Amino acid sequence: MKRAVGLLTFLLICIVLTGQSTLAPRGGDADHIVDRMEIKSGDLAPFFTTAKPYNRKDITHFAIQYQKQQASLHKTDSLDLYYIYKDNNDWLKVNDPDQEYLDANWEQRRILSRKPFLKQLYKTPANFLELDSKYFNFRVNPVLNWALGKQTDLNGIVFQNTRGFELRGNIDDRIWFYTNIIENQRRFPTHISESIVKFDAVPGSGFYKFYKSNYLDYSDDYDYLNATGYFAAKVTKHIQLKFGHDRHFIGEGHRSLFLSDNSANYFFLQLNTRVWKLNYQNTFMELTRQFENPFNQKQPYPKKYAALHHLNYNIFKNCTIGIFEGIIFDRGSTFELQYLNPIIFYRTVEQSVGSPDNAMLGGNLKYNFLKRFSIYGQLLLDEFFARELFAGNGWWANKYGLQAGFKYIDIAGINHLDMQLEYNRVRPFTYSHRTFDGNYTHFNQPLAHPLGASFEESIAILRYQPIQPLQLEARIVYTNYGVDSLSGPNQGNNIFLSTDDRGGDFDHSIGSGIGNQLLIANFRATYQVRHNVYLDLEYWMRRQTSDLATREYNRNYFGVGLRVNAVRRVLDY
């Protein structure tokens, strides 16, 4: 009966929905372009950049607004805007009064392809096939990611063979939809293969099979499938709804301590309310609880659930603050209906139902200044006791995470020379729980930082775009983290373990257990041959020292690749 009522309510909502937009890929070129536009404008974007991925409609309208405000634009900045317009041409309306400036300054021939393939394909630079009619439109594109590389201490070639397609569109300007299906065969670098064997999941994807081997042969070749699908619409002028399978990111940094996109896609319902200076996001998720033996298909994977709230407030025109609240719980195959209340502190619900659920609170900040700089940060509180925190005795339940970041664009007046510095620190046992149902994970992967807990991490990223098609990026990551010994107690790094198995109540610090220090240096050159077609050249070095000699290594990698409508995904851990 409850399910029938819920379905009926959902269908009634759909009947009254009005237009919305699909999302741009997280980590794509648009993310950095939006960062630059916001910082250089001196104001916050007209949407809330803490919630990612971005809405394509929002990105396009922001680019048009930004262009109107600028007296002059550097050529590379102008081409950045042109990239946004091409990539989101379904939001360029000739008769839209807000776009009169755009229509007067961008010739129609620059949006249309000069020579469409077979007269029907690639009529515009961004889309393999597109259709626009009065009541319906869609865009279809291939997705390809081919790469070859060599790791110095690994026999054979590291490779990636990714093929698929994506489809997005709308019906009646009321319902927007997106789907993709991506097939992969890959041989990963050693550190990722070791992670897959340890956690029985491919980072960011989940289920896998062995490629050209039987299930008992732990080969380094993996075969796995990705699929994303959702629809998006508006319930009212200020309330948006999304429903389907995808993943999300909350934050302004390279990492997020609240919710990241490291794990596999999950089933979700999301409400986003944007009114006045406020943005309030509610996300309800069905997750997969940790399990063993991914090849056992006799029973469905065990489920658990999450409910997240995130409220952002633009306190000044260049400063925003936010509050995050999340809870992970398990009721078998039933969602705890009290957690559907969108305006309440979950801790009170948890106490009122006598639950053992895992609740977290957090706060975030972003401040842009001098049209060149931005500072940002996050504070996550999983559990703590002030008296023990200030006692400095390493009490196990002082569970918190801290992020501090800094962005500097156009360094020393050099256009498109941008820097980002970030520091992340997470105490032991953060995100973990005394039960498997309550840890902050999905499909055997962390939902926040990929390292889990008990680490401190420093990141420096330098980006330079000397000409519009060429992007150069150098990145250095230094991490100090701890892991459990094979026979020792839980030291707080592995968030899948129960906190009841901890090694005592006190003297827990960053790097407890077997201490490790990891240095990663990465350089990448990317050339955009045509719209969303990239040639990649990449080198990285990984050097780890450890309290345990067998964990020490020094590895180098060199690789080349070709991407079509695919985002380069960085897998550090």
Residues 203 and 186 sit within 8 Å (Cβ to Cβ):
no
Of 3-12, 17-26, 54-63, 170-179, least confident by mean pLDDT is 3-12
For residue 427, pLDDT over 90 is answered with yes
Per-residue pLDDT band for 216 (boundaries 50, 70, 90) equals very low
What would the two tokens of residue 302 be? 């065990």
* Residue 392 in domain: yes
Cα angle vertex 156, ends 150, 159, to 5°? 60
The stretch 116-139 carries a mean pLDDT of 88
Within a domain: 205: yes
What digits encode the pLDDT tens for the residues 150-191?
Answer: 999 898 899 999 999 999 999 988 899 999 999 999 999 999
Decide if 569 is inside a domain: no
Task: Determine the pLDDT at residue 295.
Answer: 65
pLDDT of residue 306: 94
571 within some domain: no
Residue 504: the pLDDT is 86
In a domain, 494, yes or no: yes
More confident residue, 287 or 468: 287
Asked, for residue 461, whether it belongs to a domain, the answer is yes
End-to-end Cα distance, the chain: 45
Q: Rounded to an integer, what distance in angstroms lies between the CA atom of residue 442 and that of residue 438?
A: 11
Per-residue pLDDT at 7 exceeds 80? no
Tell me the pairing of strands 441-442 and 158-171.
unpaired
Which range of residues forms the domain containing residue 505? 2-564
Q: Give the relative orientation of helices 29-41 and 75-87 as an angle to the nearest 10 degrees.
A: 130
Q: At what angle do helices 56-69 and 75-87 cross, to 10 degrees?
A: 150
pLDDT for residue 354: 62
List the CATH number of the domain containing 64: 2.40.160.10
User: Does position 16 have pLDDT exceeding 50, yes or no?
Assistant: no
1-15, 114-128, 422-436, 486-500: which is most confident: 422-436
pLDDT of residue 337: 76
Per residue in 251-297, pLDDT (tens digit) is 999 999 999 998 999 999 999 999 999 999 999 999 999 887 666 66
How far is 100 from 71, CA to CA, in rounded Å? 16
Which of 113-117, 259-263, 458-462, 566-570 is predicted with the least confidence, judged by mean pLDDT? 113-117
Residue 341's pLDDT band (cuts 50, 70, 90) = confident
Say how many domains are in the chain: 1
Q: Return the higher-pLDDT residue of 276 and 104.
A: 276
pLDDT in tens, 30-54: 999 999 999 999 999 999 999 999 9
- Report yes or no on 309 lying in a domain: yes
Residue 573 inside a domain? The answer is no
Q: In the prediction, which pLDDT does 115 show? A: 78
